[in-house]
Amino acid sequence: MADNSNFNPDLEKILEGNPGEGRISRYSLVSATAKLAREMVDDAINEREGAEDVSTQKPVSLALNKIMEGDYKIIVPDEIKNL
């Protein structure tokens, strides 16, 4: 895996969202990244099968990578989509 010591991704691509789904707010991105990072840490602590190695890499960086690669999708509720 790549060295994440200088991890500084271009978030605009993520914030633009998928075509037809509208923009994703920064709050939604931060909230989803934090939730996924917590899940990854919990999986590692409980030694679940397929858990990421969070002992050598930062969980937030791993979570953001998963979001950027499309492995984890942020779903914005309709109620706040057009705010």
Token pair belonging to 69: 């690669």
What's the rounded Cα separation, in Å, for the pair 72 and 45?
Answer: 21
Establish if 7 belongs to a structural domain: no
Establish if 19 belongs to a structural domain: yes
Establish if 31 belongs to a structural domain: yes
For 34, the domain range is 12-76
pLDDT of residue 1: 46
Token pair belonging to 65: 């990578």
Q: In sequence order, which residues have a C-beta less than 8 Å from that of residue 64 and are 6 or more positions away?
A: 7, 9, 33
Q: Global pTM?
A: 0.73
What domain count does the chain have? 1
Averaged pLDDT, groups of 10, the chain, 83 residues long: 58 75 83 93 79 79 89 80 66
What's the rounded Cα separation, in Å, for the pair 52 and 44?
Answer: 7
Establish if 45 belongs to a structural domain: yes
Establish if 61 belongs to a structural domain: yes
Establish if 22 belongs to a structural domain: yes
Establish if 6 belongs to a structural domain: no
Establish if 35 belongs to a structural domain: yes
